[in-house]
Structure 1
Amino acid sequence: MEAPLFHQVASLSWDFSPLGHPENGTYELRIWLNKVTVQTVVWVANRDTPLNDTSGNLVVRDAAEDKPESYLWRSFDDPGDTLLPGMKLGTDLKTGFRCPLWSWKSTNDPSRGRFTWTFDPRGFLQTFTMNGSVELYGTGSSNGRVFPNEPSRDTS
């Protein structure tokens, strides 16, 4: 594959392109922001398992299922390091499904890095920045208006 496959819709674009250097033979499907000075990739479909061919075949729905709300996988249920409107963040307390933001391993490697940012999985209204299982920062439980560990925003 010499040039990435490319599609553009409104403020987002997607492409299917080589991961890192084209010689390595692996490809990724990326969604990125348009109309910004620095190209910002906001989501990668196959960040943990790059494709080893150029087919770009990404299957997310059962072909026999005709209900639009029935899907096998949705990108918005698996955010990378950028939260877009409509994406989920947090923990489903009934199912235990966790949906944090993940750092990238490096600038050229979108697989999950060590750092996450998420809401408290126990249901308290607070967020944590984590390095693996180590808490780096917690906002403290919010009273519905402010987080106690956040810096003051008083500008007077």
Structure 2
Amino acid sequence: MNLNLIFNLFVKVLIINCLLTFYNVGCLECYVCKNQENNKDKCVETVRTCDLTEDRCLSEVRWGSTPYWAPTGEKQFYVSKRCASKKLCENAMRNVTKRCDRIWYNDWECVECCNGDRCNYYITLASNHLIPGYVTIFVTLFLALFLIQ
């Protein structure tokens, strides 16, 4: 094989790799769990790549009675995390606004949303992240265009 053919093949593979990377970077990753007693274990170890229509990570914390009867009326936390759309987040936050008082003797529920890969690691922190994958894509594309010339 001649050197020109190898170089052209390398450039094509590089461009295809960049396009595939760009496709995957566009998808958000969120921590997911359902009705866990705390923000440990499953809630900080299980990650899901969201659908393209889901651009937020939603976290819900509830404080309420245990699922079993207890004579002392015990209460516990229920933590849930998932991918969500902007509209779903807005509706969920609007629906629980009056119940989000965090008073220990009341049953309460709070919802928060954030956008950025794995931004819902902490329950009380809603942060935005610059996705570093975009920097990698632009550098790779620049180098590919530079090598083609």
TM-score (norm 1): 0.22
Higher strand content, 1 or 2: 1
Which of these two proteins has the greater Rg computed from alpha carbons? 2
TM-score (norm 2): 0.23
Higher helix content, 1 or 2: 2
**Highest relative contact order (Cα 8 Å, sep 6+), 1 or 2?**
2
